[in-house]
């Protein structure tokens, strides 16, 4: 389908222009659940405090509690549960398998939910199960992601039913290649470095198919590899059409002492359909990469000096500069449209003119992690260590008072 962004009218693929206003139609991309709907950050790339809802791991926040539609999904005592909001009805979905075998416990597991099912995974993907909503059992993908002795899973990004992850080698961690004697004489990147073969892979949890998206390239004077570095923004982000990520570029032709070679961190955008790859302007324009808005195929930057947000539409090439509140450097949720910040007591909405509007005051201090969808905001209200209980608050569509509260026993929950 195509859409006129002026009139918001959909047309089939045979149309190129809007019959009402004459504007050129654009591809109407619709996705169900994407990582950027739950994007949380601190500017410039200082992570949120890890808490009971979200934890900062490997370049981004991963969620122990997840809201999809009107259900709150969580793990309790080796079991996967869902709670209906606001009736409070709780339903057991499945008992988690292979936790001890894979040397994990529930404190190291995270959730991602969409219309098709639930993904339960660990930071290194050694534990990975997919539970379709239509099935009573899960699919074991624990052995699907394999690493060599020199590789680690350095970043994980989930978009709809796709898991993107980077298998990075040692140079990706230290951003430096140290030359051996043979390399100094031949003036080439060491073969041993190139053979480590860092790469980005994609796993479809519906079909089980795995695909290499991008692999390290050895070009004599130049060596390029995907990297976990976040000096130029977050790591992987994208959807089934586009993927933004960082690469390390080692160019030894410019080296003089030839003892080592520092990597240049470069942000790139890969078209997964055409395989076209292009460099995103970050350092050259003084921009800081935030993320790729997977729902709208838009890339967001921050101007480091003027503190402006820059939105780049991939399909149209239109660039727009927007001013935002100076409080954007606080604990912030930002999905390309709305921005909120939460300091443990108050949740406020940020506006383009720099003003703020407080609409939630919890009165008790939470842990500053939170979860927001288009409909709900979930906060941890209070933890009562004496009664071993914790209470979560749910606010619907910016409501001032909680729409619903749920209480859990601490011994049942992930730590």
When the pLDDT of each residue in the chain is averaged and rounded to a whole number, the result is 76
Q: What is the pLDDT of residue 174?
A: 46
Given a cut of 90, whether residue 120 has pLDDT beyond it is yes
For residue 401, report the phi and psi dihedrals to the nearest 5 degrees: -105, 155
pLDDT, tens digit, 9 for 90 and up, residues 250-297: 776 665 554 556 777 788 999 999 999 998 877 666 777 878 887 788
Please confirm whether the linkage preceding 240 is cis (ω < 30° from 0).
no
pLDDT, tens digit, 9 for 90 and up, residues 58-87: 567 788 899 998 999 999 888 899 999 989
Rounded to whole angstroms, the Cα distance separating 171 from 152 reads 11
Strand order in the sheet with 162-169: 151-159, 162-169, 199-204, 210-215
Query: Which secondary structure element, helix H or strand E, spans residue 134, and what is its range?
Result: none
Rounded to whole angstroms, the Cα distance separating 348 from 328 reads 11
Query: Which secondary structure element, helix H or strand E, spans residue 403, and what is its range?
Result: none
- pTM (2 decimals)? 0.80
Q: What is the pLDDT of residue 82?
A: 95
pLDDT band at 299 (very low <50, low <70, confident <90, very high): confident
Rounded to whole angstroms, the Cα distance separating 30 from 27 reads 10
Which residues face 54 on adjacent strands? 63
CA dihedral 8, 9, 11, 15 (to 10 degrees): -80
Tokens linked to 261: 């070679």
Higher-scoring residue by pLDDT: 153, 6? 153
């Amino acid at each position: 389908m195509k859409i006129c962004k002026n009139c918001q009218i959909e047309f089939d693929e045979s149309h190129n222009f809007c019959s009402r206003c004459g504007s050129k139609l654009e591809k109407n991309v619709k996705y169900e659940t994407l990582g950027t709907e739950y994007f949380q950050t601190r500017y410039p790339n200082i992570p949120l405090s890890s808490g009971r809802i979200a934890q900062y791991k490997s370049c981004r926040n991963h969620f122990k509690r997840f809201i999809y539609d009107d259900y709150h999904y969580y793990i309790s005592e080796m079991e996967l549960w869902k709670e209906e909001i606001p009736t409070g009805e709780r339903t057991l979905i499945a008992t988690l398998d292979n936790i001890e075998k894979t040397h994990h416990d529930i404190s190291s597991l995270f959730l991602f939910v969409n219309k098709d099912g639930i993904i339960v995974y660990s930071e290194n993907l050694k534990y990975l199960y997919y539970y379709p909503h239509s099935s009573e059992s899960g699919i074991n993908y624990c052995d699907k992601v394999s690493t060599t002795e020199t590789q680690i899973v350095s970043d994980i990004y989930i978009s709809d039913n796709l898991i993107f992850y980077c298998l990075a080698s040692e140079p990706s961690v230290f951003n430096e290649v140290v030359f051996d004697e043979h390399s100094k004489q031949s003036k080439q990147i060491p073969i041993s470095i190139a053979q480590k073969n860092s790469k980005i892979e994609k796993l479809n949890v519906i079909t089980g198919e795995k695909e290499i998206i991008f692999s390290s390239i050895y070009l004599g004077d130049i060596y390029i590899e995907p990297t976990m570095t976040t000096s130029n923004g977050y790591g992987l982000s994208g959807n089934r059409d586009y993927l933004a990520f960082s690469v390390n570029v080692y160019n030894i032709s410019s080296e003089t002492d030839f003892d080592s070679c520092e990597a240049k961190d470069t942000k790139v955008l890969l078209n997964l359909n055409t395989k076209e790859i292009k460099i995103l302007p970050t350092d050259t324009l003084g921009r800081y990469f935030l993320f790729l808005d997977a729902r709208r195929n838009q890339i967001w930057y921050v101007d480091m000096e003027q503190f402006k947000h820059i939105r780049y539409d991939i399909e149209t090439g239109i660039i727009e500069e927007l001013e935002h509140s100076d409080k954007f450097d606080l604990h912030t949720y930002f999905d390309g449209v709305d921005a909120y910040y939460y300091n443990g007591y108050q949740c406020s909405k940020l506006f383009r003119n720099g003003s703020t509007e407080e609409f939630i005051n919890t009165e008790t201090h939470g842990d500053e992690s939170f979860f927001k969808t288009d409909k709900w905001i979930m906060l941890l209200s209070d933890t009562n260590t004496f009664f071993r209980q914790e209470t979560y608050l749910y606010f619907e569509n910016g409501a001032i008072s909680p729409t619903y509260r749920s209480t859990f026993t601490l011994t049942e929950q992930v730590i």
